[in-house]
Chain A
Amino acid sequence: MEGRWNRRYDWQYDRIPSGCGLAAIISEAGRSFGGEEIIQSICVLHDRSNGLGGGFAGYGIYPEKRDLFAFHVMFESIEAKELVDAYFDRNFYVEESGHIPTRKIKEITNAPLLWRYFVKPLDDSLQDCELCEEDFVTRSVFHINGEIPGAYVFSSGKNMGAFKAVGYPEDVGRFYRLDEYEGYSWIGHGRFPTNTPGWWGGAHPFTLLDWSLVHNGEISSYGINKRYLEMFGYRCELQTDTEVAAYLFDLLLRRHGLSIEVACKALASPFWSDIDRMPEEERELFKAIRMVYGPALLNGPFAIVLGFTGGLIGINDRVKLRPLVAARKDDRLYLASEEAAIREISPDLDVVWAPKAGEPVIGRVRTGEPEVVGAEETVA
């Protein structure tokens, strides 16, 4: 319990630059598959990480508890857990609470207490603060992470879960027994921080509600993105710029109700010179997006994969300064930092392409509704 896992050093670190490898798979038919595939894929990108952070997110992994928020929480101490237990008892109906299943392996050490709660906000709590369920859960996550020392919520969505640790991603996957879960969408990440407190919470993905985000890059606009989010009540205290990307998606998609396409154009906006050449209606739209969401623009090199219920988005920065490859095979959409990570698990692909700068690749589970068209380009 005294491990390095929570060594946040001090809050002077606002963010830690890091390189990374990432991979993601979604079955657009909504077919579930085991977590070993994503481990196998990210394993190929071993050299893109340095053993100081690996993590995964799986969607559709808790089908029996699909209506409950699954909180994954790290505790530094029993005292921290007692405080969180008390907080949950006050504000949530807790249906189940127990250890997150792990496997003892020599590569992963100094594990904190890893706990999982399946909960639902109490009606009274919601009414008291006049918030919807999602906003209440968001507030609870910020409360626990910000106010309860030694406790850190690293997953808080429904029918999904994030798993992360200090270590190489393939070891982290084995540690969390991901081979025993089944989901329709998986995201994996290996981290290469250049200056790390070696904190478990610092590994990717970063999550909030159903959003989970992995990121390879450095967001040079972090300072203003953070202050912009603070205006809307978000608190960024996790020493990483990845966190702001996750919250920005939450703000734009969930709270401002923008479509994925528009949100992506706010976060990786086209250049003015391109906007100036657009037909009038489009031009006015993009002008407005840049004017209004200028502080949300993610500037600097990045490749991001965002997972959410029923879908995935992969997107690069506006000048594509980090690698991102996409591919399709049958009902599957694959994303990875390098093509090799995709070929490893699906050697015979229908199509492989390098998404253009700022152009999102969107994968959606088709559930009989009309297909959501992504802005992908097929450059086989």
Chain B
Amino acid sequence: MYTLLQPDFRIKRDEERCIRCGVCVRQCAFDVHSVDTDDGSIRSDESKCVACQRCETLCPTRALTLEENYHVANENYNWTGGVLKNIWKQAETGGVLLTGMGNPRPYRIYWDHLVLNASQVTNPSIDPLREPMELRTYLGSKPDSVEVVKENGSLKLKTKLAPQLRLDAPFLFSAMSLGAIGYNVQEAMARAATEMGIYWNTGEGGLHKDLYKYGKNTIVQVASGRFGVYKDYLDAAAAVEIKIGQGAKPGIGGHLPGEKVGDLVSMTRMIPAGTDALSPAPHHDIYSIEDLSQLIYSLKEATEYTKPVSVKIAAVHNVAAIASGIVRAGADIVAIDGIRGGTGAAPTMIRDNVGIPIELAIAAVDQRLRDEGIRNRASILAAGGFRSSADIIKAIALGADAVYLGTAALVAMGCHVCQKCYTGKCNWGIATQDPYLERRLNPDIAAERLSNLIHAWSHEIMEMLGGMGINAIESLRGNRLHLRGVGLSKTELDILGVRHAGAS
């Protein structure tokens, strides 16, 4: 069928600068560039370009420039170019639109409408370069109170605490499975998490044997497909997370196509090579909250109550009530993934239209758990599109204990957010199982880049905390008085539990 689709991008090659070295040709997995055998010049087929900018970045003479191709000259507010293209695409293929990464639609990003406080005169700000500044965070269920007894003149803790995860800074790397991303990416996250005293999450694709040595900093997932779940997997981890849903695709499951299931993935997921790995939409042993409780306690039994159990859900309309149920079902941690959460593959319509923003979800869940007097019984992990240390500190002030970093971690490793993860042709070597592409992600470099990012963000958070006159992160957690809204409606402010800027 003759396609009505024009290329999304335009590639400009400066012939003066091009040295015909062929880096672009060799680096593009979408085969955009090719050598003209007649004269050695290089041509580009823009229709295949996804704007990952790999060629542009690696071109040693900066001879390439990518531009958006605004070819729908008569697009209007309702019938935008994107809308027309989607329809043409579907008219040509008859298929569901697929995409990757997080929601790009212009839903209000509340982080950009929240501002932070700082000390002036009435209390001193604290300089983190000179004074202690504590970001250490413990995730897990806390009792209402502790019992302390005096034995032989010294104080002794009588209360036995539930298992906790110690984080040196309030970050974790989000669940991204082997299959969705390559082995090297997981190794990089595992190494960076170990170095920085934080955690990474296996996602639902199992844990490769060679990564067991990072188990102390690993959260393993148990999802609806149960891939790779067995005794050693649970034993290797620091915590176990039951994945109910994901912010990018609430209510639907996952599908890793057979061509991505090579030997490595097959072994780790414990499925035959070449077969599709299907994660059902629900867990077929969880049709209700009491079923979830059974799985939580099965996992606690299996790990002899030595590891916290987390339950991850997508932020949906009644997220607060669901979170409350999850806490009462026995979870030590509730992880909430907002509407901007990323994915390796999701139907575009679902990614772009289902769920609620994480800011509102954090506020609602934290308040609900407080109203019920059970906020201490579980930690709240927030996920879904955190872009900077400022977003994170605001999330903590709203009530999150720590945040999951997915897209930000990938971007740190090179991802350019082209949203083509689902093709398996990631030119940055991240979302791919292709051995030719995978090797582009050097775990040494990627681990260092991740550690640098965590270090930088930690420091920025310390500076902001110190500015507020606070020297321990727990004094900001849920402390919404340090936030003010700018340009938000009364309803939004009420849900966020924040006052408008200017109100003292």
Write the B86-127 contact mask toward A (1 if CB under 8 angstroms, else 0). Answer: 000000000000000000000000000000000101111010
Asked if A289 is at the interface (CB within 8 A of a chain B CB), the reply is yes
Contact (Cβ within 8 A) B478 A224:
yes
Contact (Cβ within 8 A) B159 A220:
no
Contact (Cβ within 8 A) A17 B123:
yes
Contact (Cβ within 8 A) B504 A262:
no
Asked if A299 is at the interface (CB within 8 A of a chain B CB), the reply is yes
Contact (Cβ within 8 A) B475 A220:
yes
A70 nearest CB across to chain B (Å): 29
Question: Among the listed A288, A294, A321, which residue makes an inter-chain contact with B123, where contact means beta carbons less than 8 Å apart?
Answer: A321
B493 nearest CB across to chain A (Å): 12
Q: Which residues of A contact B17 (CB under 8 A)?
A: none
Distance, CA A76 to CA B324, complexed state (A): 42
Contact (Cβ within 8 A) B123 A259:
no
Asked if A113 is at the interface (CB within 8 A of a chain B CB), the reply is no
Asked if A217 is at the interface (CB within 8 A of a chain B CB), the reply is yes
Contact (Cβ within 8 A) B131 A319:
yes
Distance, CA A141 to CA B150, complexed state (A): 34
Distance, CA A300 to CA B122, complexed state (A): 10
Contact (Cβ within 8 A) B132 A273:
yes
Asked if B480 is at the interface (CB within 8 A of a chain A CB), the reply is yes
Contact (Cβ within 8 A) B504 A195:
yes
Q: Which residues of B contact A194 (CB under 8 A)?
A: 121-122
Asked if A285 is at the interface (CB within 8 A of a chain B CB), the reply is yes
Q: Which residue of the partner chain B has the closest CB to A291? A: B138
A292 nearest CB across to chain B (Å): 5
Which bracket fits the contact residues of B?
35 or more
Write the B122-141 contact mask toward A (1 if CB under 8 angstroms, else 0). Answer: 11101000011010101000
Distance, CA A362 to CA B150, complexed state (A): 18
Distance, CA A99 to CA B82, complexed state (A): 77
Question: Among the listed A18, A224, A258, A291, which residue makes an inter-chain contact with B122, where contact means beta carbons less than 8 Å apart?
Answer: A18
Contact (Cβ within 8 A) B373 A281:
no
A237 nearest CB across to chain B (Å): 14
Question: Among the listed A12, A13, A223, A295, which residue makes an inter-chain contact with B474, where contact means beta carbons less than 8 Å apart?
Answer: A295
A48 nearest CB across to chain B (Å): 14
Asked if B481 is at the interface (CB within 8 A of a chain A CB), the reply is yes
Contact (Cβ within 8 A) A258 B148:
yes
* B134, B161, B475: residue with the most chain A Cβ atoms closer than 10 Å: B475
Contact (Cβ within 8 A) A220 B122:
no
Q: Which of A167-175, A204-212, A226-234 contacts B (4 or more CB under 8 A)?
A: A226-234
Contact (Cβ within 8 A) B474 A288:
no
Do A292 and B376 contact each other (CB < 8 Å), given the known contacts A285-B155, A297-B472, A300-B469? Answer: yes
A3 nearest CB across to chain B (Å): 23
Contact (Cβ within 8 A) B370 A227:
yes
Q: Which residues of B contact A195 (CB under 8 A)?
A: 504
Asked if A271 is at the interface (CB within 8 A of a chain B CB), the reply is yes
Contact (Cβ within 8 A) B478 A297:
no
Asked if B471 is at the interface (CB within 8 A of a chain A CB), the reply is yes
Contact (Cβ within 8 A) A231 B375:
yes
Q: Which residue of the partner chain A has the closest CB to B401? A: A294
Do A319 and B471 contact each other (CB < 8 Å), given the known contacts A223-B480, A285-B157? Answer: yes
Distance, CA A269 to CA B474, complexed state (A): 12
Asked if A364 is at the interface (CB within 8 A of a chain B CB), the reply is no
Distance, CA A220 to CA B469, complexed state (A): 6
Contact (Cβ within 8 A) B123 A217:
yes
Which bracket fits the contact residues of A?
35 or more
Do A299 and B470 contact each other (CB < 8 Å), given the known contacts A12-B504, A18-B122, A294-B477? Answer: yes
Q: Which residues of A contact B470 (CB under 8 A)?
A: 220-221, 299-300
B167 nearest CB across to chain A (Å): 12
* A220, A230, A297: residue with the most chain B Cβ atoms closer than 10 Å: A220
Q: Which residues of A contact B159 (CB under 8 A)?
A: 288, 292
Distance, CA A161 to CA B134, complexed state (A): 39
Asked if B156 is at the interface (CB within 8 A of a chain A CB), the reply is yes
Asked if A133 is at the interface (CB within 8 A of a chain B CB), the reply is no
Question: Among the listed A17, A222, A261, which residue makes an inter-chain contact with B155, where contact means beta carbons less than 8 Å apart?
Answer: A261
Distance, CA A369 to CA B148, complexed state (A): 21
Contact (Cβ within 8 A) B146 A289:
yes
Contact (Cβ within 8 A) B156 A285:
yes
A357 nearest CB across to chain B (Å): 11
Contact (Cβ within 8 A) B373 A259:
no
Contact (Cβ within 8 A) B474 A300:
no
A20 nearest CB across to chain B (Å): 11
Q: Which residues of A contact B73 (CB under 8 A)?
A: none
Contact (Cβ within 8 A) A232 B122:
no
CB neighbors of A among B479-504 (8 A): 479-482, 499, 503-504
Asked if B164 is at the interface (CB within 8 A of a chain A CB), the reply is yes
Distance, CA A259 to CA B153, complexed state (A): 13
Q: Which residues of B contact A350 (CB under 8 A)?
A: none
Q: Which residues of A contact B477 (CB under 8 A)?
A: 224, 294-295
Distance, CA A256 to CA B119, complexed state (A): 33
Q: Which residues of B contact A258 (CB under 8 A)?
A: 145-146, 148
B119 nearest CB across to chain A (Å): 7
Do A227 and B478 contact each other (CB < 8 Å), given the known contacts A288-B157, A292-B146? Answer: yes
Question: Among the listed A217, A222, A262, which residue makes an inter-chain contact with B481, where contact means beta carbons less than 8 Å apart?
Answer: A222
Contact (Cβ within 8 A) B499 A19:
no
Asked if B154 is at the interface (CB within 8 A of a chain A CB), the reply is yes
Asked if A332 is at the interface (CB within 8 A of a chain B CB), the reply is no
Distance, CA A360 to CA B123, complexed state (A): 21
Asked if B468 is at the interface (CB within 8 A of a chain A CB), the reply is yes
Asked if B476 is at the interface (CB within 8 A of a chain A CB), the reply is yes
Q: Which residue of the partner chain A has the closest CB to B132? A: A271
Q: Which residues of A contact B60 (CB under 8 A)?
A: none
Q: Which residues of A contact B126 (CB under 8 A)?
A: 319
Distance, CA A17 to CA B123, complexed state (A): 8
B394 nearest CB across to chain A (Å): 13
Question: Among the listed B147, B156, B472, B474, which residue makes an inter-chain contact with A281, where contact means beta carbons less than 8 Å apart?
Answer: B156
Question: Among the listed A13, A221, A231, A289, which residue makes an inter-chain contact with B370, where contact means beta carbons less than 8 Å apart?
Answer: A231
Asked if B143 is at the interface (CB within 8 A of a chain A CB), the reply is yes
Nearest 4 pairs of A and B residues by beta carbon = A223-B481, A294-B474, A299-B475, A221-B475
With A257-B145, A271-B132, A297-B475 known, 9 other A-B pairs at CB within 8 A are A17-B122, A221-B476, A224-B476, A231-B376, A291-B138, A292-B143, A292-B145, A292-B159, A292-B161
A residues within 8 Å of B by Cβ? 12-15, 17-19, 194-195, 217-218, 220-224, 227-228, 230-232, 255-259, 261-262, 269, 271-273, 281-282, 284-285, 287-295, 297, 299-301, 318-319, 321
- Can you name 25 A-B residue pairings with CB atoms under 8 Å? A12-B499, A13-B504, A217-B123, A218-B122, A220-B470, A221-B476, A221-B479, A223-B479, A224-B475, A227-B479, A227-B480, A255-B145, A262-B148, A262-B155, A269-B472, A271-B132, A285-B156, A290-B474, A291-B164, A294-B472, A295-B474, A300-B123, A301-B469, A318-B471, A319-B126
